[in-house]
């Protein structure tokens, strides 16, 4: 029976909210999506198997730019002067009037594998591949300083390499995932800062050479997705560290909103997060929950393209359409007496996409005079409060939509500075949320008991198997705290359970390595 009790926790690392923020745009049915590009004036360019569609009013109305020349595999890029270059059928085309007229601008009997424009050095980069069987294949990477009028050849990493995804960072840094054609193996990510004269392997910290996609956030941090999750690069030493948990194992698209929250397409579904640890499903309102592309415009609105070619737009310039939930205060509990020298305040995290909290404390219940603190964490520690003083406190949460409703207010009374926490007799049982949570590899668990008795505190995995016994002894009434070291356990959801007399309470915690 206990296995059934804990099994539902397998789904808890990714929270789900139900308020829809997506509306479908009016488009023909049966389109095969290839790419969607939003430009600075919020015009949309939608490349499909039937040609290029353009909208000048954020997707309300669409018209066809060219249905004959640009059907098939193609890609857009734009430079600051709003020129557009289009690659299709082994040809390059240039437009200086937002796609109304096109001029042929070079021909290669190759397959374009990636095409990007770098706002960092104003270069256009193009990787290509041609199968010359039975002769050796031709492949490589070129750049252009005049937006495609002329192309310059760049050196290979080795002799025969196929360059795939391309992305750039300030400092003339170009990154690409590379495939060795001679030995038929993936080489992972390489970088160059001298236009290809020298390439440096950049795979330290990545568990494999298989790169699904590359993306940069608004702060010029680089991310790579693999089958084991998303990894973030340290810009100081070019090493990688795990950014997300194991719940996301096939991320094929990454984007960032104006607040630098990350949006991903994982196995065709949308998920969003502020820190890579807690994720929210964002597919409610999409008729076909099999997303291929996610894009945002300059006003902050997002567009999702499903595999059937339909485009959806967010109702608001946010990924969500919901204020954060009200925080639940955990410690100190209402009317509790605490030591005045150091008081640690703890509350439960709010949803969805909370980026910060406002902690408010006052000496009167009306909060006529307050001290406010804005922080990103779910705990605040205050020192040297007035002795024998009753205080009141409450917390509110903030996300990209705005500030949510404040929590209920709680009060506490400060005792003498030299009073130990376990000497203060609480008035009820309570098992507090562990802190920090998620944690790696240790966390603190606190509880209180108003009566003396035998107490047990145990940790279980999601199947209900006991993995640790932290306390199993007689203890006096009081407040307690213990450190749980999970360095020998694997990442995942665990439960900790307190038993004392007839009181039993269980809470979950998340280990992220």
DSSP assigned state of 212: -
418 or 124: which carries more pLDDT confidence?
Answer: 124
Please compute the mean of the pLDDT values over residues 245-265 and round it to a whole number.
Answer: 86
Residue 245: its pLDDT value, please? 66
- Provide the pLDDT confidence category of residue 421 given band limits of 50, 70 and 90: very low
Measured CA to CA, the distance from residue 68 to residue 89 in angstroms comes to: 11
Measured CA to CA, the distance from residue 471 to residue 224 in angstroms comes to: 42
Mean pLDDT score of the chain, rounded to an integer? 83
- By the 10 Å C-beta count (0-12 exposed, 13-18 middle, 19+ buried), 490 is classed as exposed
Please compute the mean of the pLDDT values over residues 313-320 and round it to a whole number.
Answer: 87
87 or 357: which carries more pLDDT confidence?
Answer: 357
- Domains contained in the chain, CATH given: 22-28+82-314 (2.130.10.10), 322-419 (2.60.40.10), 423-513 (2.60.40.2550)
CA dihedral of residues 14, 317, 26, 287 (deg, nearest 10): 10
Peptide bond into 53 cis (omega under 30): no
E-state strands within 407-491: 410-415, 430-431, 442-449, 453-460, 466-475, 478-485
Residue 491: its pLDDT value, please? 87
Residue 182: its pLDDT value, please? 78
Please compute the mean of the pLDDT values over residues 417-438 and round it to a whole number.
Answer: 69
Measured CA to CA, the distance from residue 313 to residue 285 in angstroms comes to: 10
Measured CA to CA, the distance from residue 409 to residue 365 in angstroms comes to: 8
476 or 499: which carries more pLDDT confidence?
Answer: 499
Residue 148: its pLDDT value, please? 78
**Helix, strand, or coil (residue 498):** strand
Residue 303: its pLDDT value, please? 93
Measured CA to CA, the distance from residue 200 to residue 211 in angstroms comes to: 17
Residue 257: its pLDDT value, please? 87
Please compute the mean of the pLDDT values over residues 253-272 and round it to a whole number.
Answer: 90
Residue 107: its pLDDT value, please? 57
List the beta bridge partners of residue 256: 262
Measured CA to CA, the distance from residue 46 to residue 36 in angstroms comes to: 5
Q: What is the DSSP string of 58-96?
A: TTSS-EEEESSSS-SS-EEEE-TT--EEEEETTEEEEES
- Provide the pLDDT confidence category of residue 476 given band limits of 50, 70 and 90: confident
pLDDT digits (tens, 9 = 90+) for 167-184: 999 888 899 989 888 788
Please compute the mean of the pLDDT values over residues 41-61 and round it to a whole number.
Answer: 83
Measured CA to CA, the distance from residue 43 to residue 199 in angstroms comes to: 37
Is the pTM higher than 0.85?
A: no
- Provide the pLDDT confidence category of residue 69 given band limits of 50, 70 and 90: low
């Amino acid at each position: 029976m206990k296995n059934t009790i804990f099994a539902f926790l397998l789904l808890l690392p990714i929270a789900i909210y139900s308020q829809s923020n997506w509306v479908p745009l009016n488009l023909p049915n049966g389109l095969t999506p290839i790419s969607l590009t939003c430009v600075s004036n919020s015009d949309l360019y939608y490349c499909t198997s039937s040609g290029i569609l353009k909208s000048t009013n954020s997707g309300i109305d669409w018209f066809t730019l060219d249905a004959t020349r640009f059907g098939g595999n193609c890609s857009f890029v734009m430079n600051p002067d709003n020129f557009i270059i289009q690659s299709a059928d082994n040809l390059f085309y240039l437009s200086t009037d937002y796609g109304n007229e096109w001029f042929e601008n070079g021909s290669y009997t190759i397959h374009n594998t990636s095409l990007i424009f770098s706002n960092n050095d104003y270069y256009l980069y193009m990787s290509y591949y041609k199968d010359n069987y039975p002769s050796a294949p031709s492949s490589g990477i070129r750049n252009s300083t005049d937006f495609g009028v002329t192309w310059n050849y760049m050196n290979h990493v080795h002799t025969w390499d196929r360059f795939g995804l391309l992305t750039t960072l300030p400092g003339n840094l170009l990154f690409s995932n590379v495939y060795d054609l001679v030995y038929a193996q993936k080489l992972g990510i390489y970088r160059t800062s001298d236009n290809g004269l020298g390439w440096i392997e950049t795979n330290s910290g990545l568990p494999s050479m298989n790169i699904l996609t590359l993306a940069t956030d608004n702060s010029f941090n680089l991310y790579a997705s693999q089958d084991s999750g998303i990894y973030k690069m340290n810009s100081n030493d070019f090493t990688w560290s795990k950014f997300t948990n194991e719940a996301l194992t096939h991320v094929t698209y990454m984007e960032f909103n104006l607040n630098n929250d990350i949006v991903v397409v994982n196995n065709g579904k949308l998920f969003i997060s502020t820190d890579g640890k807690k994720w929210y499903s964002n597919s409610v309102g999409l008729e076909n929950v099999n997303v291929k592309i996610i894009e945002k415009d300059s006003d902050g609105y997002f567009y999702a393209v499903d595999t059937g070619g339909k485009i959806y737009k967010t109702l608001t310039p946010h990924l969500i359409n919901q204020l954060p939930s009200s925080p639940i205060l955990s410690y100190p509990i209402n009317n509790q007496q605490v030591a005045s020298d150091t008081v640690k305040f703890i509350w439960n995290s709010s949803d969805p996409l909370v980026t910060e909290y406002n902690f408010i404390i006052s000496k009167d219940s009306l909060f006529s005079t307050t001290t406010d603190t804005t922080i990103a964490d779910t705990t605040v520690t205050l020192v040297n409060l007035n002795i024998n003083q009753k205080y009141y406190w409450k917390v509110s949460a903030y996300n990209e939509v705005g500030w949510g409703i404040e929590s209920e207010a709680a009060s506490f009374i400060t005792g003498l500075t030299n009073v130990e926490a376990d000497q203060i007799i609480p008035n009820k049982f309570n098992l507090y949320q562990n802190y920090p949570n998620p944690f790696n590899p240790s966390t603190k668990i606190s509880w209180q008991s108003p009566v003396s008795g035998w107490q047990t505190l145990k940790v279980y995995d999601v199947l209900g198997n006991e993995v640790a016994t932290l306390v199993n002894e007689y203890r006096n009434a009081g407040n307690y705290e213990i450190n749980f070291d999970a360095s020998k356990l694997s990442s995942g959801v665990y439960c900790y359970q307190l038993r004392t007399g007839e009181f039993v309470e269980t809470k979950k915690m998340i280990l992220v390595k």
